[in-house]
Amino acid sequence: MKQPGVTRALPVRGISKPGQGPGARYDSLAVTYFPSKLPCQYRRRWSVSLPCSGWVRVGPLRSNHQAYRVYRRSWTHVKRVDALKTIRMTGRCYNRRVMKKIGVLASGGDAPGMNAAIRAVTRTALFRGAEVWGFWDGYNGLLDHRVEELTTWHVAGSLRHGGSIIGAGRCEPFLDADVRIKAVEELREDGFEGLVVIGGEGSMQGAWELHKLGMPTVCIPATIDNDMPGTEITIGADTAINTAMEAIDRLQDTAAAHRRAMIVEVMGRQCGYIAIMAGLASGAEMVITPERPMELEGIFEEMRQVWLRGKRHFIIVLAEGARWGAAELAQLINESDKPYDARYTVLGYIQRGGVPTRFDRILGTRMGVKGADALLDGASGALVCWRNNRSQVLPIDELPPRGDPWDEMLGRVHAISTM
Task: Return the HEC string of 22-85.
Answer: CCCCCCEECEEECCCCCCHHHHCCEEEECCCCCEECCCCCCCCCEEEECCCCCCCCEEEEECCC
> How buried is 307 (Cβ within 10 angstroms: 0-12 exposed, 13-18 middle, 19+ buried)?
middle
| 406 within a domain of the structure (yes/no) | no
Q: How far apart are CA 117 and CA 120, in angstroms?
A: 5
How many CA within 13 A on the CB side of residue 59?
Answer: 19
Alpha-carbon separation of residue 40 from 7, 31, 45 (angstroms): 20, 19, 10
| Structural domain contains residue 411 | no
- Do 216 and 109 lie in a common domain? yes
Q: Is residue 43 part of a domain?
A: yes
CB 362 within 8 A of CB 120: no
Which of 61, 95, 129 is the C-terminal boundary of a domain?
95
Q: Do 340 and 243 share a domain, yes or no?
A: yes
Q: Which residues contact 184 (CB under 8 A, 6 or more apart)?
A: 210, 213, 214, 215
Same domain for 284 and 216, yes or no, is no
What are the contacts of 43-48 at 24+ separation with CB within 8 A? 45/95, 45/96, 45/97, 46/93, 46/94, 46/95, 46/96, 47/75, 47/94, 47/96, 47/378, 48/10, 48/75, 48/91, 48/92, 48/93, 48/94
**Residue where a domain stops, chosen among 353, 378, 406:** 353
- CATH code where residue 303 lies: 3.40.50.460
pLDDT at residue number 409? 74
State the total domains in the chain. Answer: 3
Q: Are residues 364 and 226 in the same domain?
A: yes
Angle (CA) 132-136-142 rounded to 5° is 80
One domain, residues 283 and 307? yes
121 shares its domain with 230: yes
18 and 117 both lie in a single domain: no
| pLDDT digit string (tens) for the chain, length 419 residues | 333 333 333 333 333 333 333 333 222 333 333 333 333 333 333 233 333 333 333 333 333 333 333 333 333 333 333 322 222 332 333 334 578 999 999 999 999 999 999 999 999 999 999 999 999 999 999 999 999 999 999 999 999 999 999 999 999 999 999 999 999 999 999 999 999 999 999 999 999 999 999 999 999 999 999 999 999 999 999 999 999 999 999 999 999 999 999 999 999 888 999 999 999 999 999 999 998 888 999 999 999 999 999 999 999 999 998 889 999 999 999 998 888 999 999 999 999 999 999 999 999 999 999 999 999 999 999 999 999 999 999 999 999 988 777 776 777 777 777 66
Instruction: Identify any residues that bridge with 394 across adjacent strands, giving them in sequence order.
Output: 383
DSSP codes joined into one string, 138-161? THHHHHHT-EEE--HHHHTT-TT-
Residue 197 belongs to some domain of the structure = yes
Report if residue 419 sits inside a domain: no
Residues 219 and 147 occupy one common structural domain? yes
- CA atoms in the 13 A half-sphere facing the CB of 131: 11
Does residue 254 fall inside a structural domain? yes
Backbone angles phi, psi at 399, to 5 degrees: -70, 135
Residue 405 lies in a domain: no
- Residue 241: name the closest of 266, 216, 271, 210 by CA: 266
Same domain, 203 and 243: no
Among the listed residues 270, 279, 269, 271, the one whose alpha carbon sits nearest the alpha carbon of residue 241: 279
Where do the DSSP E strands lie in 160-289? 194-199, 217-221, 260-266, 286-288
Catalytic residues: 225
| Same domain, residue pair 250 and 295 | yes
Strands 28-29 and 46-49: unpaired
In a domain, 415, yes or no: no
Answer yes or no: do 257 and 218 share one domain: no
Q: Assign residue 368 the CATH number of its domain.
A: 3.40.50.450
Strand partners, 132: 102
The closest of 206, 198, 148 to 372, measured between CA atoms, is 198
| Closest to 262 (Cα-Cα) out of 340, 347, 332 | 340
DSSP-based three-state secondary structure for 226: coil
**Closest by Cα among 78, 135, 81 to 105:** 135
Domain boundary among 51, 67, 95: 95
Q: Are residues 306 and 321 in the same domain?
A: yes
Contact in structure between 71 and 77 (CB atoms under 8 Å): yes
Distance between CA atoms of residues 262 and 268, nearest Å: 19
**Phi and psi, residue 296, nearest 5°:** -60, -40
Full residue range of the structural domain in which residue 11 is found: 7-95
